[in-house]
Amino acid sequence: MRLLVSRHLENFLALYEAGNMHVAADKKGVTQPALTKSLKLLEEDLGVELFRRGPRGLDPTDAAIRLYRHARAIDQEARFASLDIKELHANLRGMMRIGVGPVVAVSVFPGALMQLHNHLPTMEISVETGISDHLLQSLSKRNIDVVVAARPDMPLDEEFSSLPIHKSDMLVICRKDHPLLFEHAVTRQTLSAFRRVGFVEDKEFERRAQSCFGALNSFQLKPVLQTTSLTIMFGVLANSDYYAIVSDMIVARARREGLDAVRTSEALWQLDIELICKTSLINSRPVALLRQCLQQPSGL
């Protein structure tokens, strides 16, 4: 099994994810014969066939499907082990894949990312944005290494741990001349007379809203428009009587877009922004630095 912790494992991952020898060879920067030889060595080492050639490329066998689940975990652990060890020689290289919630992406994360890059200038960093539910699915599949987002109101799988980053209050925002802004304190009943703009498939929001609004969380709270883009959300709000419920972390940006926060008679709910990753990686140098950068005042 010595070949599992080697370039042959990386080649297998490239082949599995591309489903095509030519595409995988281009991705890895190697020739197709070299990739074919690497695959053959891995198959011989394991004693199984991993791919069959089909009309659309490479079809994984049952053995390949099983190996892929383990290979992603091995690859992740190996990359972080390498990052920790190489740090001792002040030559930290490798890759870290970060999933970021939309609120974090437009508030604390850009500044934190630059600080992290200053600490680890040779490390490659990839960033994916999305709502918490989707990011945690990617995390469980090892498609990303770390999630920085609002913690869903449900327990994590036992192999994952979380670290607190920031607490955020949810607020109502709308255009600056919206009727809601002329109310002394908007009640939930008053709010239900207007339509809401929300994020696409944000099940966590629906869970929190149902708990907060109770009976009002029916047609009145159902979004008239859903988007994955804050730019689109803000543009729609600036030109309509719609409203949105967002984190206080993005209110400053909303005000620059011609929006403002509404005074409500009752507080809505809080979000716990957390860093989530495998427990085995929680004390690694890259994760510790990322958390440090996110919590520094300049990031907030």
Q: What is the pLDDT of residues 204-221, one digit of tens each?
A: 787 888 788 775 555 567
| Domain containing residue 11 | 2-84
CA distance 181 to 174: 8
Q: Is the dihedral of CA 281, 286, 292, 297 positive or negative?
A: negative
Same domain (yes/no): 37, 10: yes
Instruction: Give the residues of the chain that fall short of pLDDT 70.
Output: 1-6, 81-93, 215-220, 297-300
Q: Provide DSSP, 7-73.
A: HHHHHHHHHHHH-SHHHHHHHHTS-HHHHHHHHHHHHHHHTS--EEEETTEEEEPHHHHHHHHHHHH
With CA atoms as reference, report the closest residue to 160 among 274, 268, 280. Answer: 280
CA distance 34 to 47: 20
What's residue 4's pLDDT? 46
Q: Indicate which CATH number applies to the domain containing 244.
A: 3.40.190.290
What's residue 89's pLDDT? 40
Same domain (yes/no): 276, 248: no
b/e code 117-132 from CB counts within 10 Å (16+ = b): eeebeebeeeeebbbb
Same domain (yes/no): 71, 108: no
Q: Which residue has the tokens 């609004």?
A: 213
Same domain (yes/no): 21, 76: yes
CA distance 215 to 223: 16
What's residue 299's pLDDT? 43
What's residue 213's pLDDT? 78
Percent of residues, the chain, with pLDDT higher than 70? 90
CA distance 2 to 186: 65
Same domain (yes/no): 196, 52: no
Same domain (yes/no): 153, 174: no
Give the predicted TM-score (pTM) of the model. Answer: 0.66
What's residue 167's pLDDT? 92
Q: Is the dihedral of CA 175, 149, 147, 115 positive or negative?
A: positive
The tokens of 278 are what?
């495998």
Same domain (yes/no): 121, 143: yes
Same domain (yes/no): 75, 158: no
**Residue 89: strand, helix, or coil:** coil
CA distance 103 to 150: 8
Among candidate residues 49, 84, 119, the one where a domain is terminated: 84
Same domain (yes/no): 80, 115: no
Q: Indicate which CATH number applies to the domain containing 78.
A: 1.10.10.10
What's residue 237's pLDDT? 96
Same domain (yes/no): 8, 32: yes
What's residue 193's pLDDT? 85
Q: Indicate which CATH number applies to the domain containing 156.
A: 3.40.190.10
Q: Which helix (H) or strand (E) holds 227?
A: strand 223-227
pLDDT digits (tens, 9 = 90+) for 33-67: 988 998 998 888 888 899 998 887 899 999 998 88
Domain count along the chain: 3
Same domain (yes/no): 61, 96: no
Among candidate residues 38, 61, 84, the one where a domain is terminated: 84
What's residue 300's pLDDT? 40
What's residue 84's pLDDT? 61
8 A C-beta contact, residue 273 and residue 166:
yes
Same domain (yes/no): 127, 159: yes
Among candidate residues 28, 61, 84, the one where a domain is terminated: 84
